[in-house]
Amino acid sequence: MNIILMGPPGAGKGTQSERILDYCSIPHISTGDMFREAIKNQTELGKLAQSYINQGLLVPDEVTIGLVKERLSRDDCKNGYLLDGFPRTIPQAEALQVLAKEISRPVQLVINIEADKEELIRRISGRRVCPKCGNSYHLLFKLPKVENVCDACGSELIQRKDDTIESLNVRLDAYENQTKPLIDFYSNLGLCKTVNGLQSIDDVFNDIQKLLDEVK
């Protein structure tokens, strides 16, 4: 099954993507991983991407799309894939429709995990992380045994810059402006299905599983 997973920061995409991968036995495809692999292996597209990154420039769509096409063409994607973080714009979505059909691996389902902005801010702004060992905590859902101290190594917990309320408002507004056209694009194609991300983790996946079963 060929799937795109969408959702704002804090909506639970990471948790749900793991469950989808297990349920469907398909690879997780992210543009970040593709860029890192191509640059590490010094492929032609990797070298090209690195040249833009080194100049502090955005990598052009044609380079990103080339990497996506190469990755989706591999044997491990023959039974499906889960795309995360791509597409981000309408031109990318249109290009994906073309290339996916060219390699006979068209997008079959777009899952949009939806959540209220206030709840997202509550979820993310409460995150705390240990800078030493990487353990994660939450002021509401997963408190350390000693306030602001990591259970594992005793280091003082920190809040990442991306998790502050100010940063979150910027990120969520950018996501909304960027993603709304994509939701409309895939909805018009009959591919986009929205799931309520405010439910429990299990209930969210139950809804996703129903969508997956409908497409299988």
For residues 66 and 60, give the distance between their C-alpha atoms in angstroms, rounded to a whole number. 10
Tally of domains within the chain: 1
Q: Is residue 111 part of a domain?
A: yes
Active-site residue, 88 included: yes
Q: Is 171 a catalytic site residue? A: yes
Is residue 149 a part of any domain in this protein? no
Is 145 a member of any domain?
no
The catalytically annotated residue of 36, 47, 101, 160 is: 160
Residue 70 belongs to a domain: yes
**Is the CB of residue 211 less than 8 Å from the CB of residue 195?**
yes
Continuous segment of H or E residues that includes residue 15: helix 13-24
Q: CA–CA separation, 171 vs 86, rounded Å?
A: 16
**Could you confirm whether 71 is annotated as catalytic?**
no
Phi–psi pair at 169, nearest 5 degrees: -60, -40
- Bridge partners (DSSP) of residue 198 are none
Q: What is the CATH number of the domain that holds 109?
A: 3.40.50.300
| Residue 82, domain member (yes or no) | yes
pLDDT tens readout for residues 152-174: 999 999 999 889 999 889 888 88
Q: Dump the DSSP string for 145-178.
A: SBTTB-TTT-PBPB--GGGSHHHHHHHHHHHHHH
**What's the pLDDT at 56?**
81
- Residue 152, domain member (yes or no): no
- Give the global pTM: 0.83
| Contact between 65 and 89 (Cβ < 8 Å) | no
155 in a domain, yes or no? no
19 included as an active-site residue: no
Of the listed 71, 127, 128, 193, which one is catalytic? 127
Predicted local distance difference test score (pLDDT) of residue 35: 87
Q: Catalytic residue among 13, 105, 123, 193, which?
A: 13
- For residue 98, what are the domain limits? 2-116+176-215
Residues of the chain with pLDDT under 70: none
Active-site annotation holder among 19, 117, 132, 171: 171
**Is 86 part of any domain?**
yes
Considering 88, 117, 122, 132, which one is annotated as catalytic? 88
161 by Cβ neighbours in 10 Å (0-12 / 13-18 / 19+) ranks as: exposed
122 is catalytic: no
